[in-house]
Amino acid sequence: MKSLLVYLIISLFAVNIFAQQVPLYSQYLENNYIINPGVAGSEKMYSPLLLSVHKQWIGIQETPSTQYVSLHHRLANDIMGIGGLIFHDSFGPVRMIGIQSTYAYHLKVGKKLRVSFGLNAIFMQYILQLSQDDFYGYEPILTRERTSVTVPDASFGVYAYSENYWGGISISHVLQSKMKISGTWIDDSNKMVRHYFAMGGYKFSFPGQYHLEIEPSVLFKFTETTPLQTDFNMKIYINKRFYTGLSVRSGDSFVAMFGFTFDDYFFGLAYDFTFSDLSSHTIGSQELVFGWNLGINSSQGRSFY
């Protein structure tokens, strides 16, 4: 398994991508804020606090693992949103620790439609800890076993939302910061790559005994060095408390998910089944999400706008 991990790391560096630059999330539909800063403050009735733990490629040692805590809130003036996120991402000997703060401005452009513009300021520290023993059989690569670099970054997003539909576009790694660490493979040619996202969805309601709601959505993502990837999603809500869903990532995997709310708390679980070349080495990936909708009890009975 170690040889497989080494192969994956070398392959990622070979195309000037510093590990997994943008962490992979399975339940971004429960927290669009992690993809688009324009989402900050879009929930008027409460402020969502979420904790997520994602483990990728279970069965392979030291594969990508991501954790984050996020919170965003609409200010009392009803036109500004703020947010923050702390995250940790690791892949074998490579670790990324970061913090971001968000400002968003919300405009009311129709009776039920709002459009927001969001900007993230981000600081990230990358830590690379390798020894030649990790690359047994390969030529010597490193002159130091541990080194790190701290870089600034930014992301921008536009988000449109209403009671039944939403959509947005966003760009991450806007600054394309260089990953220069003296004495290692990483030099001026290695830098963060801009990632582009476009997503949207619509929720269809079928009131009745179980108040059924169906929400199809799609996510497009690509970089300046990789082709377009598409996620097709379908979620079903029952009584606004339970949901189940399926997501298909083109050429990679499909994701089964379910979750429920209890008062102002939320729990979600997703399981990824890969159908890529890695399927013979892993049983898939898992993600858990825990949430607390702060202030929701004090907002009962208020309108969406």
On the question of pLDDT at 3 being above 50, the answer is no
* Confidence at residue 141, expressed as pLDDT on a 0 to 100 scale: 52
pLDDT score for 11 = 44
Q: How far apart are CA 106 and CA 115, in angstroms?
A: 6
Write down the pLDDT at residue 37: 97
Model-level pTM? 0.83
Pick the CATH number of 2-299 from 1.10.1530.10, 2.40.30.10, 2.40.160.40, 3.40.50.10710: 2.40.160.40
Cα–Cα distances (Å) from 105 to 75, 102, 108, in that order, read: 10, 10, 10
pLDDT single digits (tens) 163-212: 899 999 999 999 888 776 554 444 455 678 899 999 999 999 998 878 99
Q: How confident is the model at residue 145 (pLDDT cuts 50, 70, 90)?
A: low
What is the per-residue pLDDT for 267?
96
